[in-house]
Amino acid sequence: MQIKLLVNKKNIYNKVLHELYKKNYSDNLEFPPDYQYDIILHWNDYWFHFVNEYDEIIACCSITISDEYYGIHDVLVEEKFRGNNYAELLIMNVLHYFDKDNIKFKITTNITNIAAIKTYKKIFGEPKNSDNKFIYFYL
């Protein structure tokens, strides 16, 4: 399977990605494709998407940039593609995209999301801290 990485910066329209949202999510009546793309366009600093050769969106995540760290958020692998390590591969591509010295990354997950915890441990090592709802990983 061939996979391409699409990167969208906040407030910069990407016609290819918008068309992919229309194609992939046209049957979603609760969150129509234009609504979903509007979120991608205006929320968070970056959005990363994996797309296969059939123009199917496989996985995505977002990045927020602060003075303290780059936060990785909204990691989602579409249900039919789960179990193939796409989340791990996507996060590794994000880290490579921002391959600069002295950038700290943070990712958080719910304490009940075992699949995410296992994935994040592979990349970030053991969590740095947790509370009664979330586990926090830093790199």
- Nearest one of 4, 30, 33 to 19, comparing CA atoms: 33
Q: What is the CATH classification number for the domain harbouring 98?
A: 3.40.630.30
- Rounded to 5 degrees, φ, ψ at 118 are -60, -45
The mean pLDDT value for 21-49 works out to 96
Report the C-alpha gap between 3 and 58 in whole angstroms.
9
- Rounded to 5 degrees, φ, ψ at 112 are -95, -5
pTM across the whole model: 0.94
Residue 37 sits at the vertex; the CA angle it makes with 136 and 134, to the nearest 5 degrees, is 15
Q: What is the pLDDT of residues 106-125, one digit of tens each?
A: 999 999 999 999 999 999 99
Pairing status of strand 70-77 against strand 105-110: parallel
Q: What is the pLDDT of residue 135?
A: 94
Find the range with the poorest average confidence among 76-85, 93-102, 128-137: 93-102
Q: What is the pLDDT of residues 51-75, one digit of tens each?
A: 999 999 999 999 999 999 999 999 9
Q: Is 130 helix (H, G, I), strand (E, B) or coil?
A: strand
Q: Specify whether the CB–CB gap between 123 and 139 falls below 8 A.
A: yes
- For the chain, what is the domain count? 1
Q: Which domain holds residue 55?
A: 3-138
**Exposed (0-12), middle (13-18) or buried (19+): which is 41, by Cβ within 10 Å?**
middle
Q: What is the pLDDT of residue 102?
A: 80
